[in-house]
A and B are shown apart, each in its own frame.
Chain A
Amino acid sequence: MAGLNVYTSNRLEILVERLASVVREQPSSPLISEVIVVQSKGMERWLSLELARALGIWANCQYPFPNRFALEIFRTVVADVPAMEMLDTDADVWRIMRLLPQYLDRQGFEPIRTYLGESQLNLKRLQLSERIADLFDTYAVYRPELVLSWDAGKESHWQPELWRALFGEEASAHRARIWKLALTKLKKGDFTKDALPGRVSVFGIPVLPSYHFELLKGLAQYCDIHLFLLNPSREYWFDIFPERSIVSLQRATGRPVSLEALHLEEGNPILASSGKLGRDFFRAVAETESEPIGSFVEPEGRSLLAAVQSDILNLRNRGANSEKKVIESTDASFQVHVCHSAWREIEVLYDNLLNLFEVYPGLTPKDILVMAPNIETYSPYVSAVFDACQDERKRIPYSIADRHAPSESTIVDVFFRLLGLCKGRFEASEVLDLLDAPSVRKRFGLTDEDMEVVLRWVEGTRIRWGIDGGHRAELGLPPFEEASWNAGLERLLLGYALRGDGETLFGRRLPYEDVEGDQAKVLGRFLGFFRQLFRQIREMELPRPLEAWATTLETLVSTFIAQDEEDARDIQVLRGQIRSLKRLEGLAGFHDAIECEVVRYYLSRRLAREELSQGFLTGGVTFCEMLPMRSIPFRVVAVIGMNGDAFPREEQPVGFDLIAQDPQPGDRSLRDEDRYLFLEALLSARDVFYISYVGQSIRDNKEIPPSVLVSELLEYCEGGFATENGAPVVDLIVTKHRLQAFSPAYFSGDGPLFSYSEEDLEAARTRRSREQQSAPFITRPLAEPPAEWRSVSLADLKRFFQNPARYLLQQRLNIFLAQEEIALQGEEPFSLDALDQYDLGNLLIDKALAGADLKNYYDLARAKGVLPPGAPGELSYSDLVGRVNSFVKPLKPHVQHAPLDPIDVDVEIAGFKVTGRIDGIWPSGRLAFHFAGDKAKYRLALWVDHLMVNLVQQRGYPLMSRLLTEDESWTFGAVDAARDILEALLQTYWEGLCEPLRFFPESSLKFVERLNKGETRPDALLAALQAWRGNDYAAGEGTDPYLSLCFGRANPVADPFAELALRVFQPLLEHQERER
Chain B
Amino acid sequence: MNQERALLFDAHDIPLSGWSLIEASAGTGKTYALANLYVRLLVERNLSTKEILAVTFTKAATDELKGRIRSRIRDALSAFTSGASDDEFIQRLVSRVTDHEGARRFLTDALRSFDQAAIFTIHGFCLRALHRCAFESGSLFDTELIEDEADLVNEMVHDFWRITFYPDSGQFLKCVHKWVGPKDLLKLVLRCGRCGTGWGAQCQRREVPCPVL
Q: A residues within 8 Å of B by Cβ?
A: 111, 114-115, 117, 119, 123-124, 127-128, 131, 249, 252-253, 255, 261, 263, 265, 272-273, 476-478, 480, 601, 644, 647-648, 650, 652, 654-656, 671, 697, 699-700, 702-705, 707-709, 711-712, 715, 827, 830-831, 869-872, 874-875
Contacts and interface: CB of A to CB of B under 8 A. Distances in A.
A115 B133 CA distance: 11
Contact of B173 (A119, A650, A704, A872): A872
9 contacts: A115-B136, A131-B141, A249-B105, A255-B46, A273-B112, A478-B167, A671-B116, A702-B64, A703-B67
A123, A131, A272, A875 interface centre (most CB from chain B within 10 Å): A875
B46 A253 contact: yes
Interface string B59-95: 0100110110010001000000000000000000000
Contact of A872 (B111, B131, B134, B166): B166
B161 A127 contact: no
A830 B166 contact: no
B163 A478 contact: yes
B198 interface: no
Given A875-B174, A875-B177, A115 B138 contact: yes
A131 B131 CA distance: 13
Contacts of A648: 115
Contact of A871 (B138, B163, B166): B166
A935 to B, nearest CB: 24
B102 A711 contact: no
A708 B117 CA distance: 11
Interface in B187-206: none
Nearest to A876: B177
Given A127-B141, A872-B173, A827 B158 contact: yes
B125 interface: no
Interface string B6-32: 000000000000000000000000000
B27 to A, nearest CB: 16
Contacts of A702: 60, 63-64
B60 A650 contact: no
Contact of A874 (B99, B170, B181): B170
B132 A705 contact: no
B147 interface: no
Contacts of A119: 207
Nearest to A478: B166
Interface of B: 46, 48, 60, 63-64, 66-67, 70, 74, 99, 101-102, 105, 108-109, 111-112, 114-116, 128, 131-136, 138, 140-142, 158-159, 161-163, 165-170, 173-174, 177, 181-183, 207
B142 A477 contact: no
A606 to B, nearest CB: 14
B109 A655 contact: no
B110 to A, nearest CB: 10
Contacts of A272: 112
Contact of A478 (B64, B162, B173): B162
A705 B66 contact: yes
A91 to B, nearest CB: 20
A708 B138 CA distance: 34
Given A263-B112, A871-B169, A875-B170, A252 B181 contact: no
Contacts of B74: 715
A280 to B, nearest CB: 16
Contacts of B162: 477-478, 480, 869
A875 B102 contact: no
A704 B63 contact: yes
Nearest to A127: B141
Contact of B109 (A261, A650, A712): A261
Nearest to A652: B131
A644 B166 contact: no
A124 B140 CA distance: 6
Contacts of A705: 63, 66-67, 70
B60 A871 contact: no
Given A255-B46, A870-B165, 19 more contacts: A123-B140, A127-B141, A128-B141, A131-B135, A263-B108, A477-B159, A477-B163, A601-B142, A647-B115, A652-B131, A654-B141, A655-B134, A656-B135, A703-B64, A707-B115, A708-B115, A871-B166, A872-B170, A875-B174
Given A273-B112, A644-B63, A830-B182, A711 B70 contact: yes
Contacts of B163: 476-478
Nearest to A830: B182
Please indicate which of the listed interface residues B46, B64, B112, B134 has the most CB atoms of chain A within 10 Å of its own CB. Answer: B112
B56 to A, nearest CB: 14
Contacts of A261: 48, 109
A708 B168 contact: no
A1050 B168 CA distance: 54
A609 B59 CA distance: 31
A873 to B, nearest CB: 9
B4 to A, nearest CB: 36
B108 A127 contact: no
B81 to A, nearest CB: 9
Contacts of A647: 115
B65 to A, nearest CB: 10
B160 to A, nearest CB: 10
Contacts of B207: 119
Contacts of B111: 708, 712
A383 to B, nearest CB: 25
A870 B141 CA distance: 42
B135 A870 contact: no
Contacts of A131: 135, 141
Contacts of A697: 60, 63
Given A273-B112, A871-B173, A115 B135 contact: yes
A707 B70 CA distance: 12
Contacts of B140: 123-124, 127
A253 B102 contact: yes
B116 A650 contact: yes
Contacts of A655: 132-136
Given A650-B116, A654-B134, A830 B177 contact: no
B67 A870 contact: no
A480 B163 CA distance: 11
Contact of B165 (A253, A476, A715, A872): A872
Contacts of A871: 165-170, 173
Contact of B166 (A123, A273, A699, A869): A869
A478 B160 CA distance: 11
Contact of A117 (B116, B138, B168): B138
Contacts of B115: 644, 647-648, 650, 671, 707-709
A263 B182 contact: no
A265 B108 CA distance: 9
A595 to B, nearest CB: 13
A252 B99 contact: yes
Contacts of A253: 46, 102
A709 B113 CA distance: 10
Nearest to B166: A870
Query: Closest 10 A-B residue pairs measured CB to CB?
Result: A870-B166, A871-B170, A478-B166, A655-B135, A705-B67, A708-B115, A704-B63, A127-B141, A871-B168, A708-B114
Contacts of A478: 162-163, 166-167
A648 B135 CA distance: 25
Contacts of A115: 135-136, 138
Contacts of A707: 115
Contact of A480 (B46, B166, B168, B173): B166
A705 B101 CA distance: 28
Contacts of B183: 830
A119 B207 CA distance: 9
Contacts of B136: 115, 655
B95 to A, nearest CB: 19
B108 to A, nearest CB: 6
A711 B167 CA distance: 64
Nearest to B177: A875
Contacts of B135: 111, 115, 128, 131, 654-656
